[in-house]
Chains A and B, each alone.
Chain A
Amino acid sequence: MRRVAARLLGVAGLAVLVVAAAPVSVVACCGVAAAWLGGWPPGRLYRAALWCGPMLAVWLAATAVATRSLTGLAEGPYLAWLAMWHDGAAGSYPQAAAVIAPLAVPAGLAVGGLAWAWRIWSMQTGSGGLAPGSAVSFDRRQWRHQARTAGALIAAPGAVPLTTRSDSIGVGAVIRVVGHRARKIAAIPYSRLRSHQVVIGSTGTGKTTLLLRLWAGFMATALRRHAAGQGGAPLLVVLDCKGGADARRIADRARRVLRLAGARSTAVWPDEASLSLWTLPPDQLTTTLVDLIEHGTGAAAYYTDVMEAVVGLAVTAPDGPPACVADFLTRLEPGWLTAAYASGGYDAELALARSAARQIGDIALRFRTLFRRLGAGLDGPGDLSNADAWYCILEGTAEVSVAEAQARALVDLLASYAAHGPAGREILLAVDEFSAVSRRLPVWQLYERARSLGLAVQVSAQSWEGLAADEDERYRIAAAADGGIWLLRTPRPEPVAALAGTRKVTDTTRWLLGPGTWSRGGSSRVRDAPVVDPALIRALDVGQAAYIYRGGVTYLQVKRLVSAPAALQAPATEAPGAAAQPEEAARQPAVTRERPDRAAASPARRAAGAPALPDASSLLDEAFGPEPTS
């Protein structure tokens, strides 16, 4: 009986206080209601209170000037409170509000923040709410409110900039954070995109939207840094290992988005642009060519050795490495190899060519078949420096073996470009569903090579299983993702969620005495809870993602990049895999395929290739004299 009386007394005292400080109470209630509706963290109310500081300072200064005494200044709040009541009693409500606002608004926001923080804390620890399930429904409701607020934020034009002055890439609006700093805009520093990242999300969850945003952010930020002299020119290489019509649609979208980000050119390989395998250094070219052919172990190893020897002879011939497929295939003949090494000084190579003569025909047949299946995409012309971004489509679903060979060749080309190309170029290699084509080049090996070459690799997959072929490899990839892991809705997020680790949370038990009545007794304990809630990941909506980094997670709503309308329809290509069209090639000023060491030859020699540029020396000699000899 006495306890009930004390409780009633307490409630009555609180009611008196609330009524006496009515303006503060009203503002606090409004603040809590707004925070509840918007799913805000309490910090937002505290910051709002701080922003009212100048108003309070001006009011205090005005009071000090008016009263000209410290006592008057000290009495100011009380007098304002009295004036508010008097004005209210007289029916002058606007005047009453104006009199007390400088004091009541900051104080009310601060009180509201405290009340909201207490509410959240009590729900998180399980010590609040009337019903046993209050904490769960509170959390679900708050998630809905937070998601709605984030959705409203990204709907506002310009609310989420693609890149910021501090070299961060704006990805979307924050829904909720655990272990990360609470912000409105989810932005990741550029340096994270220069590290390895992993993106996992099922089809239709907004993975492509997220990837496009990250690529565009990378391109825009890197271009700005490059213009400011803070970094090299960017190069984005995307390997879409699924292929098909969907890949081409995404390629078109990527091109339009990257154009807006400042990329001057995006090449779609092999549909619209080609690369030349023959630009690889001779040793690397030999290895790559041998690896393109599927070969076994055991007895087949002997055959592999013979093939490597023959390819090596063809590539490192005294005349220089081959310049195209036709040139290479021409060399895979006993007569050609014997003639090439017969000039003296190549006795060992000559003997090798003669002893392997019986197998050369078979080797040539295999390569002829391989290059026919590969198409013209790797036979040039072109190299990676020709575009700011390359979107490479590998038919990993339709033609796995071809896509595997293409993937191997493309990665070797990129590695060679990174090692021997222009120094300082900032390269991001994005591979989607690479596991479909990674039989000959495991993803972790790609990771290791990329790390040594200074490339950043972004691996994306539809599921944890799609990351790599076996569990060990998947964990190696995920663990090496020092730029963070992006998780969209996926059926089995547990392995990735486990990688995010745990955090300390407090659980409180209490006794339910009856409907809505709890005992005052109970106990609390600290336990480890996962940072990433797998159930929440499974329930993510389209465009919602979780960014896991350093033991924390940021849930966000990805801002979709609005790209320019589709370009005019490109000239129809004969078939996927066909590279530059013949007429297109004819429009190109033809150049001879000379190695760099032979390029400085005379104009006559340079013009020897067919069809060469018309000779303009008659004009140039008239105007400037003959070419100087240096």
Chain B
Amino acid sequence: MTAPRDPGRDTAGLLFAAEMYGVQMDQLAIVLGVGEPQARRVAAAWRARRYAESARLGPGMPWTWLTKAGLAACGLRYAAAPPALGRLAHLRAVVAARLAIEAAPHYVTGGGYWRSERRLRSRMGGRVGLREHVPDGEVHWPSGAAVPWAGECWAIEAELTPKTMRRTVTIMRELLSRTGDYGCPADEVRVPGQPPRHARAVYLCSAAAQRVVARARAELGSLGARIEIRSLPPAAAMSAASRPAQRETQ
């Protein structure tokens, strides 16, 4: 016997998949708060309405992403495309990070809001230059929330593979010194004297990337105080998607 479907959850799932470029079935199940068989049925219903496409793009569970019609139904003006094969592991890691932070009680208490990379890029309107680094997500904390960090904006970075020290330091500096929103005029991107956009940057690292990120933070000097380093959730690994789902649905 299948659980009755919640239209609100359906919509949230559609929006989630749209914001994150695409989700794997086990992660979709967590978003929808159902088991994997039920998640498959939901995805099939989306496909039937031509809102989504599904395919097995890489190892593990199939991926689901929104079509042009699905994005239009969500009121999002993103370019419809399947998740890029080269970014599958990264996309999964970012989705896992989002799911992990959104599941934390303090997140709910603080009324945190996840602003996805896709949304940030969309705001930039294709003007992302080589010098612009866009974080994997932002978490906004409304002012007045019952958490000490209320009013802050955090940059979230998922680091699966280690970059060079110099590149990592450059990205950290850029994240911490940026003052303007993504898509703002060029002269507002970094205005000396203005408060930085990101109060802190949270680096979620794989075991391989932790060392470089930690050294890069040390290299930053006093700025490094605004870098938080944590491990990626175990579910972030692509191999986790190929195992039978062991997580409890929410």
Contacts and interface: CB of A to CB of B under 8 A. Distances in A.
Interface stretch (A194-202, A531-539, A607-615): A607-615
A217 B223 CA distance: 32
A233 interface: yes
B192 A386 contact: yes
A628 interface: yes
Interface stretch (A236-244, A498-506, A515-523, A586-594): A586-594
B173 interface: yes
A265 interface: yes
Nearest to A587: B195
A265 B205 contact: no
A25 to B, nearest CB: 57
A624 B224 contact: no
Contacts of A385: 173, 177
A387 B189 CA distance: 10
Interface string B180-224: 000001110111111110011010110100110010011111111
Interface string A251-265: 000010001001111
B103 interface: yes
Contacts of B48: none
Given A259-B186, A259-B187, A584-B193, A627 B224 contact: no
A620 B228 contact: yes
Contacts of A599: 217-218, 220-222, 224-225
Contacts of A569: none
A624 B211 contact: no
Classify the secondary structure of A's interface with B.
loop
A111 B101 CA distance: 81
Interface residues of B, number: 56
B30 interface: no
A588 B187 contact: no
A628 B190 contact: no
A223 B189 CA distance: 15
Interface string B142-185: 00000111001000000000000010001001000100000001
B231 A628 contact: yes
B228 A272 contact: no
Contacts of A628: 205, 207, 210, 229-231
Nearest to B229: A627
Interface in A259-310: 259, 262-267, 272-273
Interface stretch (B18-26, B84-92, B104-112): B104-112
Given A612-B225, A616-B148, A623-B230, 5 more contacts: A265-B191, A385-B173, A423-B166, A597-B218, A628-B229
Interface of B: 97, 100-101, 103-107, 110, 129-131, 147-149, 152, 166, 170, 173, 177, 185-187, 189-196, 199-200, 202, 204-205, 207, 210-211, 214, 217-226, 228-233
Q: Please name the 3 residue pairs, one residue from A and one from B, whose CB atoms are nearest each other, closest first.
A: A614-B148, A273-B192, A624-B230
